[in-house]
Amino acid sequence: MAKTKSLETAFEELDALVAKMEDKDIPLEEAFKLYQEGLKLLKYCNGAIDKVEKKIIEIHGDEEAE
């Protein structure tokens, strides 16, 4: 994930990974690779959401100070 992606794109990728993992014929090694990729995407999403929450708190704090 060298390039910055939107949160929406990351969620779409997660949805695609879940769909692939739901295939009962998927080999275990491939399922594990998809799982690892999904964890990376979740970490990215959590970080992006945390940044947005911090900005909202900051903006809200600035409004209260006025």
Residue that the structure tokens 């399922």 belong to: 31
Let me know: does 47 contact 10? Beta carbons within 8 Å.
Answer: no
* pTM score: 0.74
18-59 confidence digits (pLDDT tens) = 999 998 899 999 999 999 999 999 999 999 999 999 999 998
Q: In whole angstroms, what is the distance from residue 40 CA to residue 59 CA?
A: 29
Residue 4 has a pLDDT of 79
Binning pLDDT at 50, 70 and 90, where does residue 5 land? confident
Binning pLDDT at 50, 70 and 90, where does residue 65 land? low
